Structures are given as C-alpha cells and as structure tokens.
Amino acid sequence: MDRLVVISGIGCTGRASGYFAADSYHTTHGRAIAFASGVKVANPDLKPVVISGDGDLFAIGGNHFIHAARRNVDMLVLCVNNFNYGMTGGQMGPTTPDSAITVTSPDGNIEHPFNLVSVAAASGAVFVARWTALHARRLTKSIEKALQKKGFKFIEVISPCPTLYDRYNRYGSGLDVMKKYREISVIRNFTDPMKAEIDYRTRIVCGEFVDTEKPEFTDLLAQQSDRLQKR
C-alpha cells in the first residue's frame, strides 16, 4: 500500500482519491494523468492509479491521456463514464451519444462521441477493458489484473447518472439504468476495440479487449540513463 498513489481530477469522480488510506492527490481539471506521469518518472517504485471521469480524462485532459498512453507510462487509468459533465450540472461532453439531451445540447447532441476503449487502444495502452457499474466483481478482477501489469492500463466503467443525464434522456432511475445494463450488455473478451459497440439503448460490449506487452517508459528511461552513466 505504501507504493500506491491515487490521483484524481475534477468531477463526480474527482473526490475518489480522498477515499483511500493511501497517498493521494486531487489535481486540477484534466491534469491527473500529467501529475501521475511526474510521480512515476520521479519515483518509478510508485504505482499511480488515476481515477477520473470522461470529461476530465478525454476533453480537457485528452491530450495528456493520449500522450501518456503513447509513451506507455506505467499507471492504471480508471475512467468512470457517465456520458456527461455531472458535477457542473449535466452538460454534454466528449462521450455524450449522438442526439442525447443535455443542458448544453437541449435539442439533441450533434457531436460524435469518443469510443474510449478505441481511443485507449489506438493510443497504445497495453491493457484495455470496459465494464458497467453492474459488473462490480469482473471490474474488480480486471483492476487486480491490470495492477499486475506494467505499462499504461485503461479501464472504462460505464456508470449511471440518475440525477442528470439519465433523467434528461428519460432512462429512469439509477436502478432502471442498472437493469438496462443487465439486459443489453454482452461480454466479448478480445473484441477489436474499434468494434466494441457502446449504445446506451441497445448494446454495450464489455470485456477485456487488449492485453499485450511492450516496453514501459520509465524502464526505458532507466535503461538509457544506466547506459549513459556507465560511459
């Protein structure tokens, strides 16, 4: 536990870092991954875990996400995706589905959403999984598995937003949404992340999609530095 550092950004999930009896840090909006990169590079013995939301990680923090994944910096990024900016009152964000209603897309969202597992895989993550909040035990197992791996790991957790997003779109209570997950989610491990469908109404493909190995950034830095110091 002394090696764990839990880092969060801003949003509904932002306060998550405060729930751990571990070293933890609550950054500004979008910057959790950049902070975690600093932590990991400065002290590679530490195990950073970033917990944040879809808006934080993929809109304002999107650049940090793709570059940390590209570098393959060792960290686990857990994204709680509720399809909107919940904490600020339910505005549309980078994962808001086509035509969905939010307070800043009152006539239906015309933007195309990110498929987060696809972004993560394309950016170079070595482990990519998606579960819904209902898959609590499978999610726990994926987290355990990801923590054993070295590199940039990404797990998306589809989560209800009963007070805002689900209400605006008339999906019912949190319980209704969770029941919907049970009905429409399918587990398809090693599906091509590009094809890992995510449709709130019809089908959510869950599972572990990517589990691969490649050299990790701080290991490469250390190797290079060791080589240079011997000169």
Q: State the residues that interact with other proteins by CB under 8 A.
A: 1-3, 5, 7, 15, 17-28, 30-31, 34-43, 45-46, 63-64, 67, 133-134, 136-137, 140, 162, 173-175, 178-179, 182, 218, 221, 224-225, 228-231
Cβ 203 to other proteins, closest distance in Å?
20
Distance, in Å, from the CA atom of 55 to the CA atom of 60, rounded to the nearest integer, reads: 7
When the beta carbons of 41 and 122 are compared against other proteins, the nearer one is 41
Tokens of 16: 């998550």
The sign of the torsion formed by the CA atoms of 163, 172, 129, 182 equals positive
When the beta carbons of 120 and 196 are compared against other proteins, the nearer one is 120
Distance, in Å, from the CA atom of 16 to the CA atom of 29, rounded to the nearest integer, reads: 14
Cβ 109 to other proteins, closest distance in Å?
26
Distance, in Å, from the CA atom of 36 to the CA atom of 27, rounded to the nearest integer, reads: 10
| Rounded alpha-carbon distances, angstroms, from residue 3 to 38, 48, 78, 198 | 15, 8, 18, 35
Cβ 171 to other proteins, closest distance in Å?
14
Cβ 195 to other proteins, closest distance in Å?
28
When the beta carbons of 73 and 117 are compared against other proteins, the nearer one is 73
Distance, in Å, from the CA atom of 46 to the CA atom of 23, rounded to the nearest integer, reads: 10
Distance, in Å, from the CA atom of 69 to the CA atom of 210, rounded to the nearest integer, reads: 13
When the beta carbons of 30 and 113 are compared against other proteins, the nearer one is 30
C-alpha Rg value of the chain to the nearest Å = 18
Tokens of 225: 């530095």
Cβ 163 to other proteins, closest distance in Å?
11
When the beta carbons of 194 and 220 are compared against other proteins, the nearer one is 220
